[in-house]
Amino acid sequence: MVTIIIQLVSLFLAGIFIDLLVTRYTKSVAEKKVWSATVLSGLITCANFVLLTLIIKESSMSGIFDIMAYAGGNTVGTYVGMMKKIF
């Protein structure tokens, strides 16, 4: 039970981190910062691929909770990224 909670919290935090990167990537593209946008694009793609692969490997019921935790983290990450002026 504890490992499931740790996994869900980890996916939630990963979702926040990934969405903060996406927000920064979008800002870099808007500001025409080529190198920053290029590096962030690669990092985001690799991280999403690894996380989604881990989620898909889970059983169907656990996978649903994993997806919900990751999506919740994405939601919070978008909110934080949009509210913070310095990010």
Tokens standing for residue 72: 């919740």
DSSP readout, 21-54?
Answer: HHHHHHHHHHTT-HHHHHHHHHHHHHHHHHHHHH
In tens, the pLDDT along 27-83 reads 999 999 999 999 999 999 999 999 888 888 876 667 888 889 999 999 999 999 888
**CA 48/CA 45 separation, integer angstroms:** 5
In tens, the pLDDT along 17-27 reads 999 999 999 99
- Whether residue 86 has pLDDT greater than 60: no
More confident position, 84 or 17: 17
Helix (H, G, I), strand (E, B) or coil at 85: coil
- Whether residue 84 has pLDDT greater than 90: no
**pTM, whole model, 2 decimals?**
0.83
